[in-house]
Structure 1
Amino acid sequence: MGDKIDLWDICNRPSTRTKLEILKRVFDVWLTIWNKQSWVANEWYVVDLFAGRGKYIDGSNGSPLIFLENIASRDKKLKDNLKIKLFFVEENNNTFKYLTEHTSEFLKNNPEIKSKIDIRFFNNDCNQIIDKIITEINNSNKHPLKEFIPMKF
């Protein structure tokens, strides 16, 4: 058997880097489009069922920090009364600890977005917690929940 691969070292994992870049671009487009829609409510949802640590060991941002980074970069352009509710799920206790630390550090360095976001952390198996998360999402015409695609980065 080969050496065990450290999942948090993406130096030699170009596919992971590519997926993260795609996520960053798609989320940026999503923020832009939804922000311009007058019919969309001012409460949006982001559910990351495999949140991970938030940051890789080389300093690259994982999905939770990509979401927060994009929100921070658009802060001045987003609707004034907007609230983006982020649900970060991570099952592994040690990884969850890093997730909360990296997220707290990001928010400490970007306090301007605190009024626009509401983060909920779940240290649980996504299969065990998803029903609870769904009950916290307002699924109506103004809060469309069309697709729910779990992706592990």
Structure 2
Amino acid sequence: MKQYQLKEVSKAKLKILEKYFPAWARILGSRNPILVFVDCFAGAGRYPGGEEGSPLLILQKARDTIQDFKSSLTILVIFVEKNKTSAKHLKANIPKDLPESLKVAVFNEDAHDFVPKLLEAIPRGMPAFFFIDPYGHPLTIPVMNQILSRPRTEILLNLMWYAINMHLSNPRTRQAIDKMFGHSDWYGQPFMRARQYERENQFVDYFLSQLEAHYKLKFRIRFSPEDDVPGGWHRTKYYLIHLSNHPKAALLMKEVMWSLGDEMGTFDFSARPQKRLFPQTPQVDELIQYLQQHYVGSGRVLTFGELREETWELPFIRKHYHKAITQLEGEGKVWIERMKSQRTGIRDRNKLHFVTEA
């Protein structure tokens, strides 16, 4: 019998979670005594091949974070798993030596019904991170919007495009899609008449338009060679979508996702990097050109952090902005108002004065 191994596309998903959670916890934990993490479709804690799943990964990262805070921070980790056997295995897989300030609860419940009740129990204003990673349909959009309506709360969503696409035109699953959207208007949308990539792109755009988050960052995951799907390397398996209402959360997730694609900055992963004649990784020169077109000559004054927040949708991260602004400073197109104790470098609070046109 062939031994199951965790697929590379699943590893990419876990890498994003593994890198983002500690940074999120450190930032929010510096201002809040209690943080909440909810894994809505937790599974058994380990994959059949023995590899650690999201629950064990998060517990280790939470343990490390609490040690850094020297027990001044409490992290409440909530695992929700519908399957009774998986929930039982998950409880058995949870380490017995967790620190006292790392609280863990496992609920053998259907997340679709349980999460609305859970939201009533979590104090409003307490920072919370929801990981929604189903096989099939996610939580309904009305429930996700309930989550997003809460301050300092964000979502990392696995949108299983491949599975959902098979259901869109099936009359037997229409009621389930109605429930996912919270209405039946989706059935009359243009994507229902479109095909292939046009259908996919229109659906994802429509789906995101229904979510009440200011910042929506998506990372495309294609089928990997291990999936053995015809033409799979260029077909989408799912999207990882980060949803938040704070620009710093979006910028932080962009830093995490940027390096994990087949090519850096493409937000697209297949576990089969292609050798392209023309690389697709965004270049600093492109950012400089954008800044020259939209900021240089405007006379605008804003901080380095505000510039990054205003342009968060561009496929660039902090190091690119630093290089671009440094070059423009050398050309006399912007001058940087640094703090008295700061001679060089660029910090988020430094004011950028873009020159006016002569």
Distance in 2 between the 1:149 and 1:81 partners? Answer: 26
- Structure 1 residue 117 and structure 2 residue 97: aligned? no
What is the deviation of 1:86? 1.2
Q: Return 43-52 or 80-89, whichever deviates more.
A: 80-89
What is the deviation of 1:89? 0.3
Partner SS, residue 58 of structure 1: coil
Cα contact 1:49–1:150 (8 A) shared by 2: no
Q: Which of 38, 50, 59 is the equivalent residue of 1:47?
A: 38
The corresponding residue for 1:13 is: 7
The corresponding residue for 2:123 is: 138
Distance in 2 between the 1:150 and 1:133 partners? Answer: 18
Q: Which has the higher strand share?
A: 2
The corresponding residue for 1:61 is: 52
Deviations 1:7-36 (A, max 9, x none): xx4x2621111111111111122122223x
Distance in 2 between the 1:139 and 1:124 partners? Answer: 22
Distance in 1 between the 2:64 and 2:16 partners? Answer: 17
Distance in 2 between the 1:34 and 1:80 partners? Answer: 15
What is the deviation of 1:151? 3.8
Distance in 1 between the 2:53 and 2:79 partners? Answer: 12
What is the deviation of 1:150? 4.3
The corresponding residue for 2:71 is: 80
Partner SS, residue 46 of structure 2: coil
TM-score if structure 2 supplies the norm length? 0.35
- State, as a whole percentage, how many aligned pairs show the same letter: 27
Deviations 1:108-152 (A, max 9, x none): 2xx2x3311221211111011012211221112x64443234448
RMSD: 2.5
Which ranges in structure 2 are unaligned for 5 or more consecutive residues? 128-150, 160-239, 241-358
Deviations 1:69-105 (A, max 9, x none): 11222332125332111110000111111111101xx
Partner SS, residue 41 of structure 1: coil
1:96 corresponds to which letter in structure 2?
A: A
What is the deviation of 1:62? 0.8
1:25-40 → structure 2 map (5 Å cutoff): 25-35=19-29, 37=30, 40=31
Partner SS, residue 121 of structure 1: strand
Distance in 2 between the 1:78 and 1:125 partners? Answer: 34
Cα contact 1:85–1:119 (8 A) shared by 2: yes
Cα contact 2:66–2:74 (8 A) shared by 1: no
Flag the 1:18–1:42 CA change in 2: closer, same or farther, 3 A. same
Tell me the number of residue pairs that the alignment of Structure 1 and Structure 2 aligns.
136
Q: Which of 83, 89, 93 is the equivalent residue of 1:102?
A: 93
- Structure 1 residue 71 and structure 2 residue 71: aligned? no
1:34 corresponds to which letter in structure 2?
A: L
Partner SS, residue 75 of structure 2: strand
